[in-house]
Amino acid sequence: MKIALIGDVHGNLPALEAVLADAQARGCEAVWNIGDFVGYGPFPDECVRLLRKRADVSVIGNYDQKALKFPKKDKKWRKSKGREKWRAFGFAYERLSKKSRKFLRGLPEQMRFEVEGYRVLICHGSPADVSEHLWPEPPAARMRELAAMADADIVVCGHCHRAFVRKVTGVTFINTGTVGRPDDGDPRACYAVLELSPGHLAVEHHRIAYDVERTVAALREAGLPETFAEMFRQGRNLDGLAGD
C-alpha cells in the first residue's frame, strides 16, 4: 500500500494541488494529513475544502488552532505576535467558511489506527504536544521518551517543516516536510510517500515544483504583507527574511 504523507499546507492551494497530482501519479492509495491547513497562504478555505475531499486522515495543527482562536485573541495578539503573524491568523479566520471552521474544530490532535500490521500514530508536532518541534537531529533521550509514549510502530508528524525519517527503539518517526511553506531555501513543495506491506516499510520524500507566482498574485490581491510573497518565493520563514 502506498500512502501520501502531507502537511503544513498553510493555505497554499497551488502547492497542495501539485502534491496531490504527483501522489496520484505515483499510485498513492491514501492521503494522511498532519494539519496546519492554514497560515500565511491566500487560500485557507480552498485548502480545507480540498483536503476534506482528498485526505483519508487529518489531524489539527497549531496554526489551525490559532486561527480558530483569533476572535478571542485578536487584541492580545495584535500587541504580542507582531503585525505579520497577527495578520496571518486573522486572514485565515476571516476567509474560512463556517463549514470549514466547524470541520477544523472537530479534528483531533492525534489519530491512531492499524495498517498492514503496523500501529500508526498521526500527530502534528509530537506524540506529547501539538506544538513540539521534532527536528531532524533531536536529542536522543527525548526521542526515546517520545517513542515510549507513542505506543506505535510508526509516528507521522510535521510542524518543523524539515523532512526526515528516524528510527528510535523500534519506532519509525516520519516528518512529512511542508507542502505549502518551505523554509529551507528551496521553495518547492515537500511530501513523503510511505509504502507498507506486512514486514515491509519504505519512505521516500519528494520535492515538487508548483506555480509560486499564482500564490504570490493571490497574496497581493488579498492585500497581505509583501513579506508573505517573499516567504513563498524564497522558501524561507519570517525570521529568515528578517536576517537579510
Mean pLDDT of 69-91: 93
Average pLDDT, the chain: 96
Beta strands 164-168 and 118-123 are unpaired
Question: Which pTM was predicted?
Answer: 0.96
**What is the C-alpha separation between 186 and 44, in angstroms, rounded?**
22
Determine the pLDDT at residue 242.
64
Residue 113 cell numbers, joined: 489506527
Cβ atoms < 10 Å from Cβ of 122? 25
Question: Residue 244 — very low, low, confident or very high, per pLDDT cuts 50/70/90?
Answer: very low
**What is the C-alpha separation between 106 and 104, in angstroms, rounded?**
5
**What's 131's DSSP letter?**
T
Spans of all domains in the chain? 2-242
With 70 as the cut, is the pLDDT of residue 243 above it? Answer: no
What contacts 77, CB < 8 A, 6 or more positions away? Answer: 70, 85, 86, 89
Residue 208 cell numbers, joined: 515538487
Q: Domain 2-242, what architecture? A: 4-Layer Sandwich (3.60)
**What is the C-alpha separation between 238 and 132, in angstroms, rounded?**
19
Determine the pLDDT at residue 81.
87
**What is the C-alpha separation between 47 and 42, in angstroms, rounded?**
10
**What is the C-alpha separation between 16 and 195, in angstroms, rounded?**
21
With 90 as the cut, is the pLDDT of residue 240 above it? Answer: no
